[in-house]
Structure 1
Amino acid sequence: MRQRTRTGVRGPLVMLVCLLVRSSCAQNAAQFVTWGDNAMAIEDYYGASKFYTRAMEMEGGRLELQWKYAEAGRLSNQYPEAAAMYEKVYRKDQGRTYPDALRWLGEMYLCAGKYDEARKTWLKVKQKARDKQGTTAIRADNALAGIALAKEWMAEPEDVTIEHLPEPVNSYDSEFGARTGPDGKLYLTSLRGAINADDEVIDSAQYVARIFHSDTTAGAWMVPQATDSIQPGVSMANPAWTPTGLYLASRCDPRRPCRIVIGRGVEERSLTGLGEAQSTQPMVANFQGKETLFFTSDRVGGAGGLDIWLADFDGDRVSIVRPLGPPINTPGNESCPYYDADQGKLYFSSDFHPGSGGFDNFMSRDSAGTFTAPVNLMYPLNSPANDLYPTFDLKTRTGYFTSNRVGSLAKKGATCCNDIYRYHYPALRLAQRDSTGTVRAQDSLPGEAPTVAEKRITSLREKLPIRLYFHNDEPGPRSRDTLTALTYEATWRAYRALRPDYHRAWQGDTTAIEAFFRDNVDAGLARLNEFTTLLRQALDEGQRIELRVRGFASPLAESDYNARLSLRRISSLANQLRTTQGGALRPYLESGALRLVKSPFGEDRSATGVSDRLDDLRGSVYSVGAALERRIEIEQVMDAGAGAQSLSAPLTLDMGPLLQGMERTDTIHVRNDTGTPVTLHGAQLDCDCFRVQVPDEPIAPGTIVGIHVTFTGRLRPGHVSREAIIPTSGGPAILRLTITGTVIPH
């Protein structure tokens, strides 16, 4: 999440003075340490790391300061930086003053995915542990088992489709705890606050966690809406529902521990029976014949840290509060309980059981009221970073989880911030390591084994999102065209050639800019090339694939201009796909087997805190914040064959934004599921705004074909909805195709 900064604190002003007149402030390293300590006290760990960094520039070799920085880095999820500093502390101190340095070094190596270094470190931790049956030794054994498992999982990933939910559901703040509500909407918790000039969240009564809900329209996520009004200083999180529809949530007030409340607004009241200890993350389900509350607490009586607890639930009160106990709870932290009564399985998160790093998601079976040994949900559902809040719906084989893994939206380091992810199992295989060290599997859901096609789609989706970056107003500066003749690689070469301009804008302080070009611009093209190779394999095997591409732009121009700029950038990607690998993908693009669905956004989707002033080129053009906004994203890979519509039902096609006066053709894929050959005989419309081209040949049973729909450009701006009537023989008498979109002035 973004880090808080206290309003009224003089630190940023003094820091600016020190930067301008550094020699006069050399004696003030202690002041930076004090500011860092104050930031730690209010849990602004990222801010603390910045203050400690300034102090280390003046007194870099001081052991106590290095320890403080390592702790701030760990708590703000800066894994590589924290690992480097813990390593320095341990090398100097050998555990005399800071006995936890070696263990935290092992944890940071795990979270950074540096498994070889992590193994060496944990072996040393185990060797040095005085109590061979104590918490540290047990954690070392679990970490070593997790490292071995993680390597196996990554060598042969699970057949799980992972989807990083796009903006506007996720943001550059922090989103977590997604669950589907009784109304079918997605509910989640988010921290979203005002941003200052340093791109930090201002700590105010308005910067609190709130519950939002979102839904999809025509396949696109809507902007999340808050479910409640802000209560100054009070965070509301973790929405849940009982089987009978009662609403619960966590209420966190800085004056007291978090409470579980029932009801909303004026009907909100504390759940009776939980006492004064912290209680959060509610989940109510039918368990052992009665409604039971699962929740998270660090109250007395647990195994240590956070634990999962149970209580009998009765209306607005609970009774018989008890810890879940072993084998679920450990001396570490267990949280985020989700009990699926249909399967009799508990899903939860833990940072102590054997895993990939940080928190991992686990599953345990209910066996007559006793839970079995936890089973790790494996890679790619789990990653080296934190993975939390697992949910699962057996009917759809789909669930959600929260992660700060690399690829989440972030401006404070690659793993700073939590985002919502969705996953889908074609078939579920779980593994765990037994006491002999043998990996045993296997908890398969009913259903067929994944096909080669499913595996290929899964491999493509694991590469997402692919973010491709552009210089300001490129390609085609000051143009109102929606197409370009340039490939993305051509724009990339031109962009890299402008690095000296970025260096000059920042007067030699080029660390952040160089990191941006290395980790974003260059890495984006490399990921695109890897993705293209997999894409060609899938298409060569006969698959029909749809890529959903979304455009963004920094806010220097009006939204209408930025929408066209985003389309030009998406056009450069289309040109890249058309020409890459000797034009191998061109036939698939021309036949409709490969299709780009364009969703340009413009400034409306650009992040807050980016300058839109024409007289501030340093901030609006050459800053990393502005550069991060100038991008397009391949955000979804759809199996067009799997998504084909039935010839037995009405057809729909949403063409999205349409430019007045500009032709555009989209394809709808349909499957003949009638059992007999079907012939389509043209299409009848009440206007010349669309043309519909149907296949000439009969459609054999089970076959998927494309119907091509062309917008002619002959419509006024605004929303459009037209119905095409398609006469048939061999199937239903007619097909009805509803075409929708929004016409934009050109």
Structure 2
Amino acid sequence: MKKSLIFTFLISVFSVSLISAQGSQQYTTKSKKAIKYYVESTNYFIRRQYNPALELLQAAVKKDGSFAEAHLRMSKIYMAMGDESQVQHHLQKVVKAQYNNPSFSEAHVLLAEKYFDQSAYQEARKLVNHIIGMEKANRLMQEEARYLLANIDFTEKNIDKPVEFSPKPLGGGLNQLGLQYFPVLTVDQQSMIFTGRRGTMPQYDEDIYISKKQPDGQWSRPESLSDNINTRANEGTCTVSADGRTLIFTACQEGNGFGSCDLFISYKIGEEWSMPKNMGNKINGKSWESQPSLSADGNTLYFVSDRKGGQGRRDIYVTYRNEQGEWCSAENLGKDINTPRDEVSPFIHVNGQTLYFASEGLPGFGKFDLYVSEKNGQSWTKPKNLGYPINTKEDQASLFITADGKDAYYSHEQRQGDHYASSIIYTFVIPQEIRVTNRSSYVEGTVYDAVTKKPLGAKVELMDLNQQKKISDVNSDPKNGDYLMVLTEGSEYALYIDREGYLFQSLTFNYSEKSLQSVAKPLHIDVYLQPITKGTETVLNNIFFDVDKYEIKEISQPELNKVASFLRDNPEIRITINGHTDNQGSAEYNLELSSKRAKAVYDYLVQAGIDQERLQSRGYGQSKPVTSNDTEEGRQKNRRIAFEIL
């Protein structure tokens, strides 16, 4: 994470202005020797040759101990060197000598930041209020003072309301590299992919690593993800789809992108990752793009960019993949999330509704804090700070939340000067009050040809029956037939598995009632697709009727439309719609009810434009059960509508 905005300002803009103004500047000392030493230190300071610069500045303050410019420059040098005690000592010298001088308002704000970091909130508040009320104070410094005041107010109000937080470093083979950070997991929590460096010094480049959970629950030693992914350049800050088969990552490869760092995409087919491709100029530009977060189905991407025209310097953007598989032009996520300052490290939960991110522009405990926001239609709810001690006065970022919303993973970094001394991956249990609103689980399995039993690549679509719209779609692996689809509580779903030349299959999931049991246990369902041949039949699991009624419920429309679409795509096919019941009631009644229900489906398809010459309907009542009627589960399976190829 970057250092504070004020520090960046001081080291660059202000130091350059000193060179241009040194010939006419009125210093706070009358000692010509002190001024001479100070001016001689300038070139060393600009070139970051800090030791010779300090020697000259120390000579300057020996000549005049109240020489404010020299003390201020020394504070900047010690800040860059990480010597916080010396930073504070020299800032205090400046503020004491120039308390009412607006030219030194930056020293007041920097010192207030030090007091804030030490929890000396009243001392910090006094200094920032002084700058805010000071006429002719630097506007940027007054803006910094107001920002710091908001953090002081927030911290004093919330520091005594801690959330439960017991982080633990991950053991096993993990945390074996020099540095490891930005962890992401597949939805089954069996694979972790993260950015790593073999050493802590800057000369070690970033690569992407994978660790897998062992039978004993421990993580394996990290391995390079793929020779197709990692190069001699830097690759890092990645994201993976829920099924672990789509990877988007940041690569900073000279001559192979639009800007300094671009986003690249790779697909896993079988056990191999494809050669990555640049995601194109609708996402990447001359600016810096990084820190991607991919939705569960791989069709929505959030990322960070410092491109022009945003709300701040670094903002969160979003892009969508259309029906043709093309990524649309990225859009700024807007003022609901982004501020005039930096927002970084977005993470979209697999439910597609909950966004976690880090911001330094919202009131918090200092620097970058972690926040959560829920998607509300086309907008986002007001971001909520995750609370202390998850957030502290230090930078927080790179949070990953599991599908059930229970556990979080993050990396904790420690700096030494201008580089990281350590970075360790931790986990902790998410406090109840900040867990996701809608938890998720998943269904996974393999798609087969029902005749040959060979694995198939097929399209897998998830429909929200209540909203009557598609939620997501994925493809089963073309080599091994494996598929995985995330299911989120709060609605009823239809899952369609479809491939050209085969009858589609539909599965049904009712997650409308929120209960831990409804999403706690992942499901394994293998699917066997029947080739389109005479006599083959598929059950329509998402056509619903009220008890003893034959009027089709509105929630059935997505399934009926799926049948109509199938018939349009296969104009040579004729079908019969078959109705079946359980054995409750008389055989005569059940035969009549099943016939009317089948006819209702027939009528819907005719109204949808399907030629009635291609359709028949028939009721079988209770005469063709597929399982025993001795249990409610069995009776439910026997109450069904199916269609058969004629």
- Look up the SS of the partner of 2:327 in the other structure: strand
Task: Supply the AA of the counterpart residue of 1:285.
Answer: S
Task: Supply the AA of the counterpart residue of 1:184.
Answer: Q
Please provide the CA RMSD for this pair. 4.3
- Look up the SS of the partner of 1:106 in the other structure: helix
Q: Structure 2, unaligned stretches of length 5 or more? A: 2-35, 268-272, 440-646
For the pair 1:263 / 2:263, whether they are aligned, the reply is: no
Matched with 1:237 is 236
Q: CA-to-partner distance for each residue in 1:220-255, whole Å, 9 max, x for gaps? A: 5544333356644x2211111235631110112467
Matched with 1:10 is none
**TM (normalized to structure 1)?**
0.45
Alignment match of 1:284 (pick from 262, 285, 294): 294
Matched with 1:550 is none
Alignment match of 2:208 (pick from 184, 208, 211): 211
Matched with 1:44 is none
Q: CA-to-partner distance for each residue in 1:204-226, whole Å, 9 max, x for gaps? A: 4xx22222233455455544333
**Aligned partners of 1:28, 1:379: CA distance in 2, in Å?**
46
**TM (normalized to structure 2)?**
0.51
Task: Supply the AA of the counterpart residue of 2:287.
Answer: A
Task: Quickly say closer, same or farther: Cα 1:237–1:326, change in 2 above 3 A.
Answer: same
Alignment match of 1:389 (pick from 398, 420, 432): 398
Task: Quickly say closer, same or farther: Cα 1:308–1:137, change in 2 above 3 A.
Answer: farther
Matched with 1:179 is 184
Task: Quickly say closer, same or farther: Cα 1:79–1:313, change in 2 above 3 A.
Answer: farther
Q: CA-to-partner distance for each residue in 1:612-637, whole Å, 9 max, x for gaps? A: xxxxxxxxxxxxxxxxxxxxxxxxxx
**Aligned partners of 1:142, 1:318: CA distance in 2, in Å?**
37
Matched with 1:147 is 152
For the pair 1:327 / 2:332, whether they are aligned, the reply is: no
Matched with 1:304 is 312
Task: Quickly say closer, same or farther: Cα 1:35–1:109, change in 2 above 3 A.
Answer: same
Alignment match of 1:163 (pick from 168, 176, 179): 168
**Aligned partners of 2:108, 2:348: CA distance in 1, in Å?**
36
Please report how far the alpha carbon of residue 71 of structure 1 lies from its aligned counterpart in structure 2 after TM superposition: 3.9
Matched with 2:223 is 225
Matched with 2:249 is 249
**Aligned partners of 1:156, 1:97: CA distance in 2, in Å?**
39
Task: Quickly say closer, same or farther: Cα 1:221–1:120, change in 2 above 3 A.
Answer: farther
**Aligned partners of 2:424, 2:74: CA distance in 1, in Å?**
25
**Aligned partners of 1:221, 1:258: CA distance in 2, in Å?**
30
8 A Cα contact 1:159 1:428, kept in partner: no
**Aligned partners of 1:260, 1:402: CA distance in 2, in Å?**
22
Task: Quickly say closer, same or farther: Cα 1:391–1:306, change in 2 above 3 A.
Answer: same
**Aligned partners of 1:31, 1:420: CA distance in 2, in Å?**
45
Please report how far the alpha carbon of residue 427 of structure 1 lies from its aligned counterpart in structure 2 after TM superposition: 1.4
**Aligned partners of 1:76, 1:228: CA distance in 2, in Å?**
37
Please report how far the alpha carbon of residue 359 of structure 1 lies from its aligned counterpart in structure 2 after TM superposition: 0.6
Task: Quickly say closer, same or farther: Cα 1:101–1:398, change in 2 above 3 A.
Answer: same
8 A Cα contact 2:317 2:331, kept in partner: yes
**Aligned partners of 1:365, 1:77: CA distance in 2, in Å?**
38
Matched with 2:301 is 293
Matched with 2:386 is 377
- Look up the SS of the partner of 1:146 in the other structure: helix
Please report how far the alpha carbon of residue 373 of structure 1 lies from its aligned counterpart in structure 2 after TM superposition: 1.5
Task: Supply the AA of the counterpart residue of 2:155.
Answer: A
Please report how far the alpha carbon of residue 130 of structure 1 lies from its aligned counterpart in structure 2 after TM superposition: 6.8
- Look up the SS of the partner of 2:400 in the other structure: coil
Please report how far the alpha carbon of residue 266 of structure 1 lies from its aligned counterpart in structure 2 after TM superposition: 6.9
**Aligned partners of 1:114, 1:228: CA distance in 2, in Å?**
49
8 A Cα contact 1:385 1:415, kept in partner: no
**Aligned partners of 1:238, 1:118: CA distance in 2, in Å?**
36
Matched with 1:103 is 109
Deviates more, 1:310-319 or 1:152-161: 310-319
Task: Quickly say closer, same or farther: Cα 1:100–1:216, change in 2 above 3 A.
Answer: farther
Task: Supply the AA of the counterpart residue of 1:279.
Answer: E
Task: Quickly say closer, same or farther: Cα 1:424–1:356, change in 2 above 3 A.
Answer: same
Alignment match of 2:366 (pick from 351, 357, 376): 357
8 A Cα contact 2:296 2:350, kept in partner: yes
**Aligned partners of 1:179, 1:225: CA distance in 2, in Å?**
15
Task: Quickly say closer, same or farther: Cα 1:281–1:30, change in 2 above 3 A.
Answer: same
**Aligned partners of 2:397, 2:123: CA distance in 1, in Å?**
25
- Look up the SS of the partner of 1:304 in the other structure: coil
8 A Cα contact 1:110 1:356, kept in partner: no
- Look up the SS of the partner of 1:161 in the other structure: coil
Task: Quickly say closer, same or farther: Cα 1:325–1:71, change in 2 above 3 A.
Answer: farther
Task: Quickly say closer, same or farther: Cα 1:225–1:361, change in 2 above 3 A.
Answer: same
Matched with 1:502 is none
Q: Structure 1, unaligned stretches of length 5 or more? A: 2-26, 40-47, 195-200, 431-442, 447-746
Task: Quickly say closer, same or farther: Cα 1:100–1:187, change in 2 above 3 A.
Answer: farther
Task: Supply the AA of the counterpart residue of 1:311.
Answer: T
**Aligned partners of 1:68, 1:254: CA distance in 2, in Å?**
36
Matched with 2:129 is 123
**Aligned partners of 2:177, 2:123: CA distance in 1, in Å?**
31
8 A Cα contact 1:428 1:444, kept in partner: no
Task: Supply the AA of the counterpart residue of 1:323.
Answer: N
Please report how far the alpha carbon of residue 96 of structure 1 lies from its aligned counterpart in structure 2 after TM superposition: 5.2
**Aligned partners of 1:69, 1:403: CA distance in 2, in Å?**
30
Pairing of 1:521-532 with structure 2 (within 5 A): none
Larger Rg: 2
8 A Cα contact 2:400 2:410, kept in partner: yes
Task: Quickly say closer, same or farther: Cα 1:429–1:51, change in 2 above 3 A.
Answer: farther
**Aligned partners of 1:178, 1:371: CA distance in 2, in Å?**
25
Task: Quickly say closer, same or farther: Cα 1:425–1:353, change in 2 above 3 A.
Answer: same
Please report how far the alpha carbon of residue 149 of structure 1 lies from its aligned counterpart in structure 2 after TM superposition: 3.4
8 A Cα contact 1:160 1:380, kept in partner: yes
Task: Quickly say closer, same or farther: Cα 1:33–1:145, change in 2 above 3 A.
Answer: closer
Task: Quickly say closer, same or farther: Cα 1:122–1:343, change in 2 above 3 A.
Answer: farther
Paired-residue identity, %: 20
8 A Cα contact 1:111 1:358, kept in partner: no
Q: CA-to-partner distance for each residue in 1:280-323, whole Å, 9 max, x for gaps? A: 11112269xx9222111111111122111112235885323221
Task: Quickly say closer, same or farther: Cα 1:269–1:125, change in 2 above 3 A.
Answer: farther
- Look up the SS of the partner of 2:330 in the other structure: strand
**Aligned partners of 2:219, 2:156: CA distance in 1, in Å?**
35
**Aligned partners of 2:161, 2:136: CA distance in 1, in Å?**
37
Task: Supply the AA of the counterpart residue of 1:291.
Answer: N
Please report how far the alpha carbon of residue 380 of structure 1 lies from its aligned counterpart in structure 2 after TM superposition: 1.3
For the pair 1:424 / 2:434, whether they are aligned, the reply is: no
Task: Quickly say closer, same or farther: Cα 1:31–1:316, change in 2 above 3 A.
Answer: farther
8 A Cα contact 2:80 2:417, kept in partner: no
Please report how far the alpha carbon of residue 36 of structure 1 lies from its aligned counterpart in structure 2 after TM superposition: 5.5
Q: CA-to-partner distance for each residue in 1:348-393, whole Å, 9 max, x for gaps? A: 0011211111110011111112012111001111111111122212
Please report how far the alpha carbon of residue 333 of structure 1 lies from its aligned counterpart in structure 2 after TM superposition: 0.6
Matched with 2:544 is none
8 A Cα contact 1:349 1:388, kept in partner: yes
